[in-house]
Structure 1
Amino acid sequence: MNSSVRHFFPHAVAAVFCIFFLALAIEPVSRDVWIAEVIPVVLIFVSLVATFRWFRFSNIAYALMAFWLFWHTIGGHYTFAHVPFEWLSQISSDGRNHFDRIGHFSIGFYAFAMAEWLLRNRCCSLKLAMVFSIFFVMSIAAGYEIIEWWYAVAKGGDAGLEFLGSQGDIWDAQKDMLADTLGAIFSLLIYHITRPDLHQNR
């Protein structure tokens, strides 16, 4: 990857995402669910754009974070339980749509960015950054499950159930948090291999 491509990679990803987001904002399956689902997407995207001039993550970090932004935007448009990716329902014998499980796994990718931020700012050692980044994702995962519960109770009806997305699984919240954690471990393995804090041009 030449230097110009590396330099403008975040800009290109941001531009593509904006177009993608606007396209999927048109006639979602449930407008109420869409609004609730895109709030974290918008907050994270705006935060990354607003802080770009002060801290530029590695391209690997932006690619990993962008995966969740795109994936969650698709889920918001269709509602996670009804995304028309039939092959995801064939992963297990229960016929469950696992689109949201992959979404939770990709939330764990933000552990990569957290570790990079900690190490490039020399806040701690590599081992402590890894541990803190996993706990960071686990706390976000737990917090999001609480928000889902509050919204489902407050909103009620079909919108509440669709946002909750449990699809009849009584252990859905626990499995979601496990997926978040596994995603964090996966992304930190990538971090350990690539070490963007030592090679900031990646």
Structure 2
Amino acid sequence: MDDSLPSSHRFPFGLAGTYLILWAVLAINPVMRDVWWAENLPVLGVFGLLAATYPKFRFSNLAYTLMAVWMILHTIGGHYTFANVPFDFVTDFFGFERNHFDRLGHFSIGFYAFPIAEFLTRKKLAKPAVVYLFSLFAIMALAAGYEIIEWWYAALAGGEAGIEFLGSQGDIWDAQKDMLADTLGAVTALLIFRFTKRKSDEDTPPA
């Protein structure tokens, strides 16, 4: 890595570079190219937004790491389709009847509650209680919105592409379980935010 790059920027730049390499590899011969586009457009949108706003607002390394988890999982799901990601070792170990890789992906969406809370806190836009509630509700609203998008795409695309993008695998409660996974991920992220913020406050010497 270029030694002229400030050390504070090396982690996010390295993380971004690593992800782009992974994305390029997984862009080669995906299982279904139309599903790959549908799954990757949101990821590219988030990546582009973070890159564009980086000069104005830099999140913590932990926030970037949590956001990268969803990008990586979603990119893998886009390559294989979520229902067909090689995840048999987990399915067989726990005796599941379906591939739960998509649940893991939804859980990781909840991690974005962390950067939301971090942004609101550092910009001093809300009091702590509002920060936590807004971050949680924002993820819950996003989860519901994404389930609607999945429904629209499945209805419009139809056929195998629609089924693979929907990824319900025959579970009539799939949408509800996905939203629950998003919410649990958000709760987990906010607990991490609370713990790290408290530790940061304790380590900061009094003025």
Whether these two folds match at TM > 0.5 is yes
1:32 to 29, 34, 38: 34
Query: Which residue number in structure 2 is paired with residue 80 of structure 1?
Result: 82
Find the residue that maps to 2:57 and give its secondary structure: coil
Query: Which residue number in structure 1 is paired with residue 44 of structure 2?
Result: 42
Query: Which residue number in structure 2 is paired with residue 134 of structure 1?
Result: 136
Query: Which residue number in structure 2 is paired with residue 145 of structure 1?
Result: 147
* Residues 1:20 and 2:13 aligned together: no
Deviation at 1:19, TM superposition (A): 0.7
Query: Which residue number in structure 2 is paired with residue 55 of structure 1?
Result: 57
Deviation at 1:127, TM superposition (A): 1.4
Mapped to 2, the partners of 1:91 and 1:134 lie a distance apart of: 32
2:11 to 1, 9, 12: 9
Query: Which residue number in structure 2 is paired with residue 191 of structure 1?
Result: 193
5+ residue gaps, structure 1, are: none
Give, as a single letter, the amino acid of the residue that structure 2 aligns with 1:141: A
Give, as a single letter, the amino acid of the residue that structure 1 aligns with 2:188: F
The percentage of aligned residue pairs carrying the same residue is 58
Find the residue that maps to 1:158 and give its secondary structure: helix
Describe the shift of the 1:191–1:127 C-alpha distance in structure 2 as closer, same or farther (beyond 3 A): same
Query: Which residue number in structure 1 is paired with residue 180 of structure 2?
Result: 178
The 5 Å alignment of 1:88-99 reads 88-90=90-92, 92-99=94-101
Equivalent residues of 1:75, 1:100 under 8 A apart: yes
Describe the shift of the 1:136–1:92 C-alpha distance in structure 2 as closer, same or farther (beyond 3 A): same
Equivalent residues of 1:101, 1:179 under 8 A apart: yes
Mapped to 2, the partners of 1:88 and 1:78 lie a distance apart of: 16
Mapped to 1, the partners of 2:106 and 2:129 lie a distance apart of: 24
Q: CA offsets, 1:102-150, max 9 Å, x none?
A: 0000000000000000011100111110010000000000000000000
Mapped to 1, the partners of 2:122 and 2:173 lie a distance apart of: 38
Give, as a single letter, the amino acid of the residue that structure 2 aligns with 1:16: T
Mapped to 2, the partners of 1:5 and 1:89 lie a distance apart of: 41
Query: For structure 1, which segment, 107-116 or 122-131, has the greater mean C-alpha deviation from structure 2 after superposition?
Result: 122-131
Mapped to 1, the partners of 2:89 and 2:103 lie a distance apart of: 14
Query: Which residue number in structure 1 is paired with residue 102 of structure 2?
Result: 100
Query: Which residue number in structure 2 is paired with residue 68 of structure 1?
Result: 70
Find the residue that maps to 1:166 and give its secondary structure: coil
Query: Which residue number in structure 2 is paired with residue 120 of structure 1?
Result: 122
TM-score (norm 1): 0.93
TM-score (norm 2): 0.91
Query: Which residue number in structure 2 is paired with residue 162 of structure 1?
Result: 164
Mapped to 2, the partners of 1:196 and 1:18 lie a distance apart of: 33
5+ residue gaps, structure 2, are: 1-5, 202-207
